[in-house]
Amino acid sequence: MFKNLQRPKLRLVIGIILILGSSVGCTVNVPVKVPSIFVEKKIPYRVVLVIPDDIRQRECKHPSPTNFNKFNCGSALYETCLKTLDKVFTDIQAVKGIKEASKPWDRTLWLEVDEFRMVDYRLGDLLAGKTPDFMSIIRVCLALRYKLTDENNKELFSSNISFEEKLSIFDETAIHSTKDPLRHERAAFSEVIEKAMLKMVDEVMDAYKKEQL
Amino acid sequence: MAYYYHVWFRKEADMSKNIRGRNLKIFINLIVTLWLAVGCVQVPVQVSLRIPSVFVEHKIPYRVVLVISEDIRQHECTCFRVGASLPHAIYSIQCGLALYEACTKTMCRIFVDVQTVKDIKEASKPWDLALWIDVDKFEMSCPIFMNTSVCISLRYKLTDKNNKELFSSSISFEEDEEEIEYGFRNVMPFLIASNDSNYLLDIAEPVKVQTAWAEEPLLSRIISQVINKVMIKMVEEIMEVYNKGQIGRELG
Protein backbone atom coordinates (compact mmCIF):
# COMPACT_ATOMS: atom_id res chain seq x y z
CA MET A 1 0.00 0.00 0.00
CA PHE A 2 2.80 2.34 0.94
CA LYS A 3 4.53 1.92 -2.37
CA ASN A 4 1.56 3.47 -4.16
CA LEU A 5 1.52 6.50 -1.96
CA GLN A 6 3.61 9.51 -2.70
CA ARG A 7 6.29 10.21 -0.13
CA PRO A 8 4.84 13.47 1.33
CA LYS A 9 1.50 11.75 1.80
CA LEU A 10 3.18 8.76 3.31
CA ARG A 11 5.03 10.94 5.79
CA LEU A 12 1.83 12.74 6.64
CA VAL A 13 0.01 9.47 7.24
CA ILE A 14 2.82 8.12 9.39
CA GLY A 15 3.04 11.40 11.27
CA ILE A 16 -0.66 11.32 12.08
CA ILE A 17 -0.46 7.69 13.13
CA LEU A 18 2.48 8.49 15.37
CA ILE A 19 0.76 11.43 17.01
CA LEU A 20 -2.40 9.45 17.58
CA GLY A 21 -0.45 6.45 18.74
CA SER A 22 1.70 8.37 21.14
CA SER A 23 -1.34 10.02 22.65
CA VAL A 24 -2.99 6.69 23.44
CA GLY A 25 0.14 4.64 24.10
CA CYS A 26 0.62 2.89 27.42
CA THR A 27 3.51 3.38 29.81
CA VAL A 28 5.92 0.52 30.18
CA ASN A 29 8.03 -0.05 33.26
CA VAL A 30 11.79 -0.17 32.87
CA PRO A 31 13.29 -2.63 35.37
CA VAL A 32 15.62 -1.08 37.91
CA LYS A 33 18.94 -2.88 37.78
CA VAL A 34 21.41 -1.79 40.39
CA PRO A 35 24.95 -2.45 39.12
CA SER A 36 27.10 -5.05 40.87
CA ILE A 37 29.81 -3.12 42.64
CA PHE A 38 31.88 -3.77 45.70
CA VAL A 39 32.93 -0.80 47.81
CA GLU A 40 35.05 -1.61 50.82
CA LYS A 41 34.40 1.67 52.60
CA LYS A 42 31.76 4.12 51.56
CA ILE A 43 32.80 7.71 50.97
CA PRO A 44 32.07 9.39 54.32
CA TYR A 45 29.92 12.22 53.03
CA ARG A 46 26.26 13.04 53.36
CA VAL A 47 25.15 13.71 49.83
CA VAL A 48 22.10 15.40 48.40
CA LEU A 49 21.23 13.97 45.02
CA VAL A 50 19.40 16.58 42.97
CA ILE A 51 17.38 15.13 40.13
CA PRO A 52 14.74 17.53 38.82
CA ASP A 53 11.19 16.37 38.47
CA ASP A 54 11.25 16.58 34.69
CA ILE A 55 13.99 13.95 34.58
CA ARG A 56 12.13 11.65 36.97
CA GLN A 57 8.92 11.89 35.00
CA ARG A 58 10.57 11.66 31.64
CA GLU A 59 9.14 9.09 29.27
CA CYS A 60 11.02 7.69 26.33
CA LYS A 61 8.72 7.03 23.44
CA HIS A 62 9.18 4.03 21.29
CA PRO A 63 8.50 5.10 17.71
CA SER A 64 7.88 1.62 16.47
CA PRO A 65 5.48 1.18 13.56
CA THR A 66 3.68 -1.61 15.36
CA ASN A 67 3.22 -0.19 18.83
CA PHE A 68 3.40 3.16 20.59
CA ASN A 69 4.76 2.67 24.01
CA LYS A 70 6.22 5.06 26.49
CA PHE A 71 8.95 3.77 28.76
CA ASN A 72 9.31 5.37 32.16
CA CYS A 73 13.03 5.76 31.57
CA GLY A 74 13.41 8.79 33.83
CA SER A 75 11.98 7.01 36.83
CA ALA A 76 14.27 4.01 36.24
CA LEU A 77 17.29 6.28 35.94
CA TYR A 78 16.35 8.05 39.16
CA GLU A 79 15.83 4.82 41.10
CA THR A 80 19.00 3.21 39.81
CA CYS A 81 21.04 6.33 40.50
CA LEU A 82 19.75 6.58 44.04
CA LYS A 83 20.41 2.92 44.83
CA THR A 84 23.84 2.97 43.22
CA LEU A 85 25.02 6.07 45.03
CA ASP A 86 23.71 4.60 48.26
CA LYS A 87 26.41 1.97 47.85
CA VAL A 88 29.07 4.64 47.43
CA PHE A 89 28.22 7.35 49.98
CA THR A 90 27.38 6.91 53.65
CA ASP A 91 24.20 8.98 53.41
CA ILE A 92 22.04 9.95 50.47
CA GLN A 93 18.91 12.02 50.24
CA ALA A 94 17.30 12.48 46.85
CA VAL A 95 15.46 15.70 46.13
CA LYS A 96 13.85 17.43 43.18
CA GLY A 97 15.35 20.79 44.15
CA ILE A 98 18.11 21.64 46.61
CA LYS A 99 15.63 23.60 48.72
CA GLU A 100 13.85 20.36 49.54
CA ALA A 101 16.85 18.91 51.38
CA SER A 102 15.66 18.09 54.88
CA LYS A 103 18.96 17.07 56.45
CA PRO A 104 22.38 18.74 56.52
CA TRP A 105 24.73 17.64 53.78
CA ASP A 106 28.40 17.73 52.84
CA ARG A 107 28.19 17.38 49.08
CA THR A 108 25.57 17.87 46.40
CA LEU A 109 25.38 15.78 43.27
CA TRP A 110 23.48 17.48 40.47
CA LEU A 111 22.28 15.29 37.66
CA GLU A 112 21.14 16.56 34.27
CA VAL A 113 20.04 14.46 31.34
CA ASP A 114 20.73 15.82 27.87
CA GLU A 115 19.47 12.87 25.88
CA PHE A 116 17.61 9.72 26.70
CA ARG A 117 15.72 8.20 23.85
CA MET A 118 15.10 5.13 21.81
CA VAL A 119 15.26 4.92 18.06
CA ASP A 120 13.69 2.06 16.20
CA TYR A 121 14.93 1.72 12.69
CA ARG A 122 11.91 -0.17 11.47
CA LEU A 123 10.20 3.19 11.27
CA GLY A 124 13.13 4.41 9.20
CA ASP A 125 12.47 1.53 6.85
CA LEU A 126 8.83 2.51 6.52
CA LEU A 127 9.64 6.13 5.85
CA ALA A 128 12.19 5.08 3.27
CA GLY A 129 9.46 3.10 1.54
CA LYS A 130 10.85 -0.28 2.48
CA THR A 131 9.12 -3.17 4.14
CA PRO A 132 10.47 -3.60 7.65
CA ASP A 133 12.31 -6.85 8.12
CA PHE A 134 11.86 -9.29 10.97
CA MET A 135 15.24 -8.18 12.18
CA SER A 136 14.83 -4.83 13.79
CA ILE A 137 17.53 -2.53 14.97
CA ILE A 138 16.96 -0.53 18.09
CA ARG A 139 19.25 2.04 19.57
CA VAL A 140 19.05 3.57 23.00
CA CYS A 141 21.02 6.74 23.70
CA LEU A 142 21.74 8.22 27.07
CA ALA A 143 23.78 11.36 27.63
CA LEU A 144 23.98 12.90 31.06
CA ARG A 145 26.01 15.46 32.97
CA TYR A 146 26.67 15.59 36.66
CA LYS A 147 28.61 17.72 39.06
CA LEU A 148 29.55 17.51 42.70
CA THR A 149 29.51 20.68 44.74
CA ASP A 150 30.34 21.40 48.37
CA GLU A 151 28.16 23.07 51.02
CA ASN A 152 28.91 26.48 49.51
CA ASN A 153 27.88 25.35 46.05
CA LYS A 154 31.46 25.40 44.85
CA GLU A 155 32.03 22.90 42.07
CA LEU A 156 34.45 20.14 43.02
CA PHE A 157 34.11 17.77 40.13
CA SER A 158 32.00 17.44 36.99
CA SER A 159 31.75 15.05 34.10
CA ASN A 160 29.72 14.00 31.05
CA ILE A 161 28.71 10.46 30.32
CA SER A 162 27.13 9.19 27.17
CA PHE A 163 26.30 5.69 26.09
CA GLU A 164 24.63 4.22 23.11
CA GLU A 165 23.35 0.69 22.96
CA LYS A 166 22.54 -0.89 19.64
CA LEU A 167 20.42 -3.96 19.61
CA SER A 168 19.83 -6.31 16.76
CA ILE A 169 16.93 -8.54 17.44
CA PHE A 170 14.63 -10.99 15.85
CA ASP A 171 11.27 -9.30 15.93
CA GLU A 172 9.08 -11.98 17.35
CA THR A 173 6.30 -9.48 17.97
CA ALA A 174 5.80 -9.04 14.25
CA ILE A 175 4.62 -12.63 14.05
CA HIS A 176 3.09 -13.61 17.33
CA SER A 177 2.75 -12.18 20.77
CA THR A 178 4.70 -13.36 23.79
CA LYS A 179 4.24 -12.79 27.49
CA ASP A 180 6.46 -9.77 27.40
CA PRO A 181 7.01 -8.58 23.84
CA LEU A 182 8.92 -5.50 25.00
CA ARG A 183 11.52 -7.41 26.90
CA HIS A 184 14.36 -6.30 24.66
CA GLU A 185 13.44 -2.70 24.80
CA ARG A 186 13.04 -2.65 28.57
CA ALA A 187 16.33 -4.48 28.98
CA ALA A 188 18.06 -2.04 26.64
CA PHE A 189 17.13 0.87 28.87
CA SER A 190 18.33 -0.97 31.96
CA GLU A 191 21.59 -1.83 30.27
CA VAL A 192 22.35 1.73 29.26
CA ILE A 193 21.46 3.05 32.71
CA GLU A 194 23.66 0.42 34.34
CA LYS A 195 26.62 1.33 32.15
CA ALA A 196 26.19 5.01 32.94
CA MET A 197 26.02 4.27 36.66
CA LEU A 198 29.14 2.12 36.59
CA LYS A 199 31.00 4.86 34.77
CA MET A 200 29.79 7.46 37.24
CA VAL A 201 30.86 5.35 40.23
CA ASP A 202 34.28 4.77 38.64
CA GLU A 203 34.76 8.48 38.14
CA VAL A 204 33.51 9.49 41.58
CA MET A 205 35.68 6.89 43.34
CA ASP A 206 38.65 7.97 41.28
CA ALA A 207 38.07 11.63 42.12
CA TYR A 208 37.70 10.75 45.80
CA LYS A 209 40.95 8.79 45.82
CA LYS A 210 42.69 11.73 44.18
CA GLU A 211 41.23 13.91 46.95
CA GLN A 212 39.33 16.06 44.48
CA LEU A 213 36.21 15.73 46.59
CA MET B 1 13.03 -21.65 10.43
CA ALA B 2 12.64 -22.65 14.02
CA TYR B 3 9.60 -20.44 14.23
CA TYR B 4 7.99 -22.10 11.23
CA TYR B 5 8.81 -25.44 12.73
CA HIS B 6 7.17 -24.24 15.94
CA VAL B 7 4.04 -23.10 14.10
CA TRP B 8 4.00 -26.25 12.02
CA PHE B 9 4.40 -28.36 15.13
CA ARG B 10 1.45 -26.68 16.82
CA LYS B 11 -0.63 -26.99 13.70
CA GLU B 12 0.31 -30.61 13.37
CA ALA B 13 -0.43 -31.19 17.01
CA ASP B 14 -3.92 -29.80 16.53
CA MET B 15 -4.50 -31.82 13.40
CA SER B 16 -3.17 -34.98 14.83
CA LYS B 17 -5.68 -35.46 17.58
CA ASN B 18 -6.86 -38.51 15.74
CA ILE B 19 -3.39 -39.83 15.20
CA ARG B 20 -1.59 -41.73 17.88
CA GLY B 21 0.80 -39.45 19.83
CA ARG B 22 3.63 -41.94 19.60
CA ASN B 23 3.61 -42.06 15.80
CA LEU B 24 3.52 -38.31 15.65
CA LYS B 25 6.50 -38.04 17.96
CA ILE B 26 8.50 -40.49 15.89
CA PHE B 27 7.62 -38.66 12.71
CA ILE B 28 8.55 -35.27 14.13
CA ASN B 29 11.79 -36.59 15.59
CA LEU B 30 12.67 -38.06 12.23
CA ILE B 31 12.04 -34.78 10.46
CA VAL B 32 13.97 -32.79 13.04
CA THR B 33 16.90 -35.22 13.00
CA LEU B 34 17.10 -35.10 9.21
CA TRP B 35 16.84 -31.34 9.21
CA LEU B 36 19.48 -30.87 11.86
CA ALA B 37 21.80 -33.31 10.20
CA VAL B 38 21.92 -31.30 7.00
CA GLY B 39 24.62 -28.99 8.15
CA CYS B 40 26.28 -27.49 11.15
CA VAL B 41 29.03 -25.00 11.52
CA GLN B 42 31.17 -24.43 14.57
CA VAL B 43 31.28 -20.78 15.58
CA PRO B 44 33.90 -19.83 18.17
CA VAL B 45 32.72 -17.08 20.49
CA GLN B 46 35.16 -15.04 22.48
CA VAL B 47 33.67 -13.71 25.68
CA SER B 48 34.14 -10.00 26.13
CA LEU B 49 36.06 -9.56 29.34
CA ARG B 50 34.31 -7.48 31.92
CA ILE B 51 36.20 -6.77 35.10
CA PRO B 52 33.82 -6.30 38.02
CA SER B 53 33.69 -2.89 39.65
CA VAL B 54 35.59 -3.41 42.86
CA PHE B 55 36.68 -0.41 44.91
CA VAL B 56 39.02 -1.46 47.66
CA GLU B 57 40.51 1.20 49.86
CA HIS B 58 43.54 -0.83 50.88
CA LYS B 59 44.54 -3.98 49.12
CA ILE B 60 45.09 -7.05 51.27
CA PRO B 61 48.86 -7.02 51.91
CA TYR B 62 49.58 -10.60 50.92
CA ARG B 63 51.31 -12.12 47.95
CA VAL B 64 48.94 -14.61 46.45
CA VAL B 65 49.38 -17.53 44.10
CA LEU B 66 46.22 -18.09 42.12
CA VAL B 67 46.02 -21.72 41.08
CA ILE B 68 43.68 -22.37 38.16
CA SER B 69 44.28 -25.62 36.35
CA GLU B 70 44.74 -25.83 32.62
CA ASP B 71 41.53 -27.76 32.04
CA ILE B 72 39.50 -24.92 33.57
CA ARG B 73 41.17 -22.39 31.32
CA GLN B 74 40.42 -24.42 28.24
CA HIS B 75 36.87 -25.22 29.24
CA GLU B 76 34.35 -24.34 26.52
CA CYS B 77 30.63 -23.90 26.94
CA THR B 78 28.70 -25.04 23.90
CA CYS B 79 25.37 -23.85 22.64
CA PHE B 80 23.56 -25.36 19.69
CA ARG B 81 21.19 -23.16 17.77
CA VAL B 82 19.12 -23.79 14.71
CA GLY B 83 19.45 -21.07 12.15
CA ALA B 84 17.06 -19.29 9.84
CA SER B 85 18.98 -20.81 7.01
CA LEU B 86 21.49 -23.59 6.88
CA PRO B 87 23.96 -24.28 8.30
CA HIS B 88 22.98 -24.41 11.93
CA ALA B 89 25.51 -23.30 14.47
CA ILE B 90 27.29 -24.82 17.40
CA TYR B 91 28.74 -21.98 19.41
CA SER B 92 31.93 -22.76 21.28
CA ILE B 93 32.14 -20.16 23.96
CA GLN B 94 35.48 -19.72 25.67
CA CYS B 95 33.95 -19.44 29.09
CA GLY B 96 36.90 -20.98 30.98
CA LEU B 97 39.34 -18.50 29.55
CA ALA B 98 37.01 -15.62 30.40
CA LEU B 99 36.65 -16.89 33.96
CA TYR B 100 40.42 -17.22 34.30
CA GLU B 101 41.09 -13.70 33.04
CA ALA B 102 38.31 -12.10 35.05
CA CYS B 103 39.52 -13.91 38.15
CA THR B 104 43.15 -12.87 37.68
CA LYS B 105 42.27 -9.23 37.13
CA THR B 106 39.75 -9.12 39.96
CA MET B 107 42.20 -10.63 42.45
CA CYS B 108 44.80 -8.07 41.38
CA ARG B 109 42.41 -5.46 42.71
CA ILE B 110 42.21 -6.91 46.18
CA PHE B 111 45.67 -8.40 46.80
CA VAL B 112 48.92 -6.48 46.55
CA ASP B 113 50.59 -9.18 44.49
CA VAL B 114 49.09 -11.95 42.40
CA GLN B 115 50.81 -14.58 40.31
CA THR B 116 48.66 -16.96 38.34
CA VAL B 117 49.80 -20.52 37.77
CA LYS B 118 48.41 -23.77 36.45
CA ASP B 119 50.02 -25.69 39.26
CA ILE B 120 51.46 -24.57 42.59
CA LYS B 121 54.87 -25.95 41.54
CA GLU B 122 55.03 -23.30 38.84
CA ALA B 123 55.05 -20.40 41.31
CA SER B 124 58.17 -18.43 40.57
CA LYS B 125 58.03 -15.98 43.49
CA PRO B 126 57.52 -16.45 47.22
CA TRP B 127 53.94 -16.18 48.35
CA ASP B 128 51.90 -15.80 51.53
CA LEU B 129 48.64 -17.32 50.40
CA ALA B 130 47.49 -19.71 47.71
CA LEU B 131 44.03 -19.36 46.23
CA TRP B 132 42.83 -22.59 44.63
CA ILE B 133 39.91 -22.46 42.26
CA ASP B 134 38.00 -25.50 41.06
CA VAL B 135 35.09 -25.34 38.70
CA ASP B 136 32.54 -28.08 39.16
CA LYS B 137 30.10 -26.91 36.56
CA PHE B 138 30.05 -24.21 33.94
CA GLU B 139 27.40 -24.91 31.37
CA MET B 140 25.15 -23.09 29.01
CA SER B 141 21.80 -24.49 28.04
CA CYS B 142 20.15 -23.28 24.85
CA PRO B 143 16.86 -25.07 24.27
CA ILE B 144 15.21 -24.12 21.00
CA PHE B 145 12.00 -22.60 22.24
CA MET B 146 13.06 -21.64 25.71
CA ASN B 147 15.35 -19.14 27.33
CA THR B 148 19.07 -19.57 27.44
CA SER B 149 20.35 -20.40 30.89
CA VAL B 150 23.79 -20.51 32.43
CA CYS B 151 24.89 -22.60 35.35
CA ILE B 152 28.17 -22.10 37.17
CA SER B 153 29.38 -23.79 40.27
CA LEU B 154 32.86 -23.34 41.69
CA ARG B 155 34.79 -23.96 44.86
CA TYR B 156 37.77 -22.07 46.14
CA LYS B 157 40.03 -22.20 49.16
CA LEU B 158 42.74 -20.07 50.63
CA THR B 159 45.73 -21.85 52.09
CA ASP B 160 48.89 -20.62 53.74
CA LYS B 161 52.49 -21.44 52.83
CA ASN B 162 52.23 -24.78 54.57
CA ASN B 163 49.12 -25.68 52.61
CA LYS B 164 46.95 -25.30 55.68
CA GLU B 165 43.42 -24.30 54.76
CA LEU B 166 42.43 -20.90 56.09
CA PHE B 167 39.12 -20.40 54.38
CA SER B 168 37.00 -22.15 51.79
CA SER B 169 33.71 -21.53 50.10
CA SER B 170 31.59 -22.55 47.17
CA ILE B 171 29.64 -20.30 44.85
CA SER B 172 26.93 -21.33 42.46
CA PHE B 173 24.71 -19.38 40.17
CA GLU B 174 22.04 -20.67 37.90
CA GLU B 175 20.43 -17.99 35.88
CA ASP B 176 17.85 -17.84 33.23
CA GLU B 177 18.22 -15.45 30.34
CA GLU B 178 15.38 -13.38 31.73
CA GLU B 179 16.95 -13.17 35.16
CA ILE B 180 20.13 -11.93 33.68
CA GLU B 181 19.24 -8.30 33.42
CA TYR B 182 19.98 -8.08 29.76
CA GLY B 183 17.16 -10.43 28.98
CA PHE B 184 17.19 -10.79 25.27
CA ARG B 185 14.90 -13.24 23.70
CA ASN B 186 16.18 -16.58 22.67
CA VAL B 187 16.93 -15.28 19.22
CA MET B 188 18.09 -17.35 16.34
CA PRO B 189 21.33 -16.60 14.61
CA PHE B 190 19.97 -14.60 11.75
CA LEU B 191 22.36 -12.72 9.60
CA ILE B 192 22.06 -8.97 9.75
CA ALA B 193 22.77 -6.99 6.64
CA SER B 194 21.55 -3.44 6.47
CA ASN B 195 24.53 -1.65 5.04
CA ASP B 196 22.73 0.37 2.44
CA SER B 197 19.86 1.71 4.50
CA ASN B 198 19.38 5.42 4.65
CA TYR B 199 17.44 5.90 7.81
CA LEU B 200 15.55 9.12 8.04
CA LEU B 201 15.53 9.05 11.80
CA ASP B 202 19.26 9.18 12.00
CA ILE B 203 20.53 11.19 9.09
CA ALA B 204 23.59 12.41 10.93
CA GLU B 205 24.84 8.95 11.66
CA PRO B 206 23.38 6.21 9.48
CA VAL B 207 23.65 2.81 11.02
CA LYS B 208 25.99 0.46 9.29
CA VAL B 209 25.64 -2.94 10.76
CA GLN B 210 28.17 -5.35 9.43
CA THR B 211 27.09 -8.81 8.51
CA ALA B 212 27.49 -10.81 11.67
CA TRP B 213 26.00 -13.56 13.72
CA ALA B 214 23.35 -11.85 15.77
CA GLU B 215 23.72 -14.43 18.51
CA GLU B 216 27.32 -13.75 19.48
CA PRO B 217 26.90 -10.68 21.68
CA LEU B 218 24.03 -12.27 23.58
CA LEU B 219 25.94 -15.43 24.46
CA SER B 220 29.06 -13.49 25.30
CA ARG B 221 27.15 -11.08 27.46
CA ILE B 222 25.34 -13.77 29.42
CA ILE B 223 28.61 -15.51 30.26
CA SER B 224 30.28 -12.19 31.17
CA GLN B 225 27.51 -11.26 33.51
CA VAL B 226 27.49 -14.57 35.32
CA ILE B 227 31.26 -14.43 35.76
CA ASN B 228 30.87 -10.88 37.03
CA LYS B 229 28.42 -11.98 39.70
CA VAL B 230 30.65 -14.82 40.79
CA MET B 231 33.63 -12.49 41.08
CA ILE B 232 31.73 -9.92 43.13
CA LYS B 233 30.53 -12.66 45.46
CA MET B 234 34.05 -14.03 45.86
CA VAL B 235 35.49 -10.57 46.57
CA GLU B 236 32.80 -9.91 49.16
CA GLU B 237 33.56 -13.17 50.95
CA ILE B 238 37.32 -12.74 50.89
CA MET B 239 37.16 -9.14 52.10
CA GLU B 240 34.80 -10.17 54.85
CA VAL B 241 37.03 -12.93 56.19
CA TYR B 242 40.02 -10.61 55.93
CA ASN B 243 38.21 -7.86 57.82
CA LYS B 244 37.28 -10.40 60.49
CA GLY B 245 40.96 -11.23 60.82
CA GLN B 246 40.49 -14.84 59.78
CA ILE B 247 43.22 -14.75 57.19
CA GLY B 248 45.61 -12.36 58.92
CA ARG B 249 45.32 -14.04 62.31
CA GLU B 250 46.08 -17.46 60.91
CA LEU B 251 49.05 -16.15 59.01
CA GLY B 252 50.37 -14.16 61.93
Task: Mark the ranges of chain A whose per-residue pLDDT is less than 70.
Answer: 1-7, 15, 17-25, 63-68, 121-137, 167-181
What is the pLDDT, as a whole number, of residue A146? 97
Contact B135, B103 (CB under 8 A): no
Average pLDDT of chain B to the nearest whole number = 75
Contact B8, B57 (CB under 8 A): no
Angstrom distances, CA of residue B99 to CA of B52, B167, B173, B231: 12, 21, 14, 9
| Cα end-to-end distance, chain A, whole Å | 61
What is the pLDDT, as a whole number, of residue B34? 66
Task: Count helices and strands (H / E) in chain B.
Answer: 6, 9
What pLDDT band is residue B180 in, cutting at 50, 70 and 90? very low
Angstroms from A125 CA to nearest CA on chain B: 7
State pLDDT tens for residues B105-117. 999 999 999 999 9
What pLDDT band is residue B144 in, cutting at 50, 70 and 90? low
Q: Does A124 touch chain B (CB under 8 A)?
A: yes
Q: Which of A170, A175, A183 sits opposite B188 (nearest CB)?
A: A170
Chain B residues whose beta carbon lies within 8 Å of the beta carbon of residue A39 = 55
Angstroms from B201 CA to nearest CA on chain A: 6
| Residue in chain A lying closest to B186 (CA) | A170
Residue B123, number of CB atoms within 10 A of its CB:
16
Residue scoring higher pLDDT (B204 or B174): B174
Contact B116, B132 (CB under 8 A): no
Q: Does A7 touch chain B (CB under 8 A)?
A: no
Give the mean model confidence (pLDDT) for residues B21-28: 77
State pLDDT tens for residues B60-102. 999 999 999 999 999 999 887 765 555 667 888 899 999 999 9
What pLDDT band is residue B196 in, cutting at 50, 70 and 90? very low
Enter the pTM of the model.
0.73
Identify the contact set of chain B against chain A, taking CB-CB distances under 8 A. Answer: 3, 52-58, 178, 181-185, 187-188, 190, 192, 194, 197-202, 207, 209, 214, 228-229, 232, 235-236, 239
What is the pLDDT, as a whole number, of residue B85? 54
* Contact check, Cβ <8 Å, A36/B52: yes
* Contact check, Cβ <8 Å, A190/B184: no
What is the pLDDT, as a whole number, of residue B158? 95
Its ipTM equals 0.72
Nearest to A198 by CA among B177, B101, B50: B50
Nearest to B47 by CA among B152, B133, B145, B155: B152
| Residue in chain A lying closest to B84 (CA) | A170
Q: Does A101 touch chain B (CB under 8 A)?
A: no
